Amino acid sequence: MASPETRTAAPHPAPGALVPGELLAAARPEVREALEAAIAGRELSFDQGLHLATSEGPDLQALIAVADQFRRATVGDVVTYVVNRNINFTNVCFVGCSFCGFGHGPNAPDAYSHSPEEIVRRAREAWERGATEVCIQGGLPRDLDGFFYRDVLRAIKRALPAMHIHAFSPMEIAYGIEKTGMPLRDYLRMLKDEGLGSIPGTAAEILDDRIRKELSPNKLPVKLWVEIITTAHETGIPTTSTMMYGHVEEPADWVRHIQLLRGIQKRTGGFTEFVPLGFIHEKTRLFKRGHARPGAARDEHLRVHALARVLLHGAIRNIQVSWVKLGFPGSLACFAAGANDFSGTLMEESISKAAGATHGEYVAPEELRALIRSIGRIPAERTTTYNIRQRFDQEPSAVAGVPARLQLAPVDKHVPYGEGSY
Ligand code: SF4
């Protein structure tokens, strides 16, 4: 089902060929052994993964160096991005995740909901500005019609047949099944037939029911998340995969989570990428209750991205940075720690503000390319499923179909909720 590139395991490079020997030599023996096992193409045990997940100082430097070499061996020096628009069609949600600053009650003064017509209007604007993808997710209003998701797909495809629709988290799929009473497989087939191109692997947070109870007792359990994702893959719908870190979880939870994803990928080949999502603590009940860390520090961001590259080597080819959560300096640092994809331009709210607003969640393709070049890598625009549309080995003076310069997101711009753009 997945594109051939997501199925193909990367060749394992020869150990001596790529490991900076002095970095490995400086690492603790257990970290060195784990990294050497990974280089030799062996699947790491939980304990080996945990040594890497708790690495600091010289151990962390060795992990990052190996992750960077794995990235180069797998995808080379290209850093990809997709031109897309995020459409979060409602912020009304009853689920009440404690880490979320996005969901509102239906009577809240700033509650909003977009009709399918408004969603199409936004998708059309994005298309006219060069977007190839719309990423559509929203809250879960109690009165949502279970066929609303189908109707949105139908309306967009009628207006824009070639637009890739990346939409509806496993939580939304679970809600659609509950509302319609349809079997999961039939519901997914219906969405695919109406134009669903891929599914964001959000609502994963940490795939451990004990932690999920603390973060969001009303959210779908691990078993159902896995069932929806694997059924989507079997139905020919690729998905992304995500993990939220920097809150109440511990490094052991990262290892279990990533190894669970690796196991799914071995069975289905349906993940296009893995996206670590740093917890943004401001305005969240979870942090205000004193139950969570205030997000990850810089080393933790690097450790998680590098750990993911090493544990997923030979399985998931693409490690994506979330620039809305990391900011640009943090994103660029993660490109030296195993990451290879910059996510998307995310035009939500930006188009209407492009004429002069100073805030927004958008970065122009030219800005992404300049950032990629600043670290000596090669920018390339991709499709949602990682086919390269255009490599920018040399920057053309004008890029057809893309406005000269829109708005550059502030480097510290964060999105304080768990769902979004993935
Ligand atoms: S994270 Fe999603 S499901 Fe949870 S409260 Fe926020 S909008 Fe609702």
Over the stretch 183-214, which tens digit does the pLDDT of each residue have? 999 999 999 999 999 999 999 999 999 999 99
- Ligand 1 mutation target, pool 102, 144, 325, most atoms within 8 A of CB: 102
Whether 211 is in the pocket of ligand 1, judged by its Cβ within 6 Å, is no
For residues 12 and 26, the model is more confident at: 26
Whether 139 is in the pocket of ligand 1, judged by its Cβ within 6 Å, is yes
Band (pLDDT 50/70/90 cuts) for residue 6 is: very low
Give nearest CA residue, ligand 1 atom 3.
Answer: 95
Q: What distance in angstroms lies between residue 419's CA and the mean position of ligand 1's atoms?
A: 7
Query: Lowest-pLDDT range, 142-146, 207-211, 359-363, 416-420?
Result: 416-420
Four-residue CA torsion sign, 220, 93, 187, 346: negative
Give nearest CA residue, ligand 1 atom 7.
Answer: 139
Distance CA 23, CA 25 (A): 5
Distance CA 41, CA 252 (A): 22
Tokens 């393709």 identify what position? 365
Q: What distance in angstroms lies between residue 128's CA and the mean position of ligand 1's atoms?
A: 30
In terms of Cβ atoms closer than 10 Å to its own Cβ (0-12, 13-18, 19+), residue 27 is: buried
Residue 3 confidence (pLDDT):
39
Band (pLDDT 50/70/90 cuts) for residue 399 is: very low
Q: What distance in angstroms lies between residue 3's CA and the mean position of ligand 1's atoms?
A: 30
- List the Cα angle 302/308/311 in 5-degree steps: 135
pLDDT digits (tens, 9 = 90+) for 262-292: 999 999 999 999 999 999 888 889 999 898 9
Whether 419 is in the pocket of ligand 1, judged by its Cβ within 6 Å, is yes
Whether 144 is in the pocket of ligand 1, judged by its Cβ within 6 Å, is no
CA 185 to centroid of chain Cα atoms: 24
C-alpha closest to that of 52 among 283, 338, 419: 338
Please compute the mean of the pLDDT values over residues 321-329 and round it to a whole number.
92
Residue 16 confidence (pLDDT):
44
Distance CA 88, CA 76 (A): 33
Q: What distance in angstroms lies between residue 182's CA and the mean position of ligand 1's atoms?
A: 23
Whether 138 is in the pocket of ligand 1, judged by its Cβ within 6 Å, is no
Q: What distance in angstroms lies between residue 101's CA and the mean position of ligand 1's atoms?
A: 8
Question: Which residues, in sequence order, are bridge partners of residue 239?
Answer: 199, 271
Question: Which residues, in sequence order, are bridge partners of residue 388?
Answer: 382
- Is the pLDDT confidence value at 421 over 90? no
Task: Kindly give the number of the ligand 1 atom that is closest to the alpha carbon of 96.
Answer: 5
- Is the pLDDT confidence value at 128 over 50? yes
Q: What percent of the chain has pLDDT over 90?
A: 80
- Ligand 1 mutation target, pool 99, 100, 169, 212, most atoms within 8 A of CB: 100
Please compute the mean of the pLDDT values over residues 368-381 and round it to a whole number.
97
C-alpha closest to that of 204 among 254, 131, 266, 265: 254
Residue 361 confidence (pLDDT):
67
Please compute the mean of the pLDDT values over residues 41-46 and round it to a whole number.
97
Task: Kindly give the number of the ligand 1 atom that is closest to the alpha carbon of 102.
Answer: 6
CB 355 within 8 A of CB 377: no
Token pair, residue 129, equals 């500005």
Residue 407 confidence (pLDDT):
34
Token pair, residue 188, equals 């997914």
C-alpha closest to that of 140 among 102, 92, 187: 92
For the chain, list the domains and their CATH numbers.
4-73 (no CATH), 74-391 (3.20.20.70)
Beta-carbon contacts of 64 under 8 Å, excluding residues fewer than 6 positions away, are: 302, 306, 336, 337, 338
Strands 378-382 and 388-391: antiparallel
- Is the pLDDT confidence value at 151 over 80? yes
Q: What distance in angstroms lies between residue 214's CA and the mean position of ligand 1's atoms?
A: 14
Whether 171 is in the pocket of ligand 1, judged by its Cβ within 6 Å, is yes
Residue 348 confidence (pLDDT):
64
Whether 165 is in the pocket of ligand 1, judged by its Cβ within 6 Å, is no
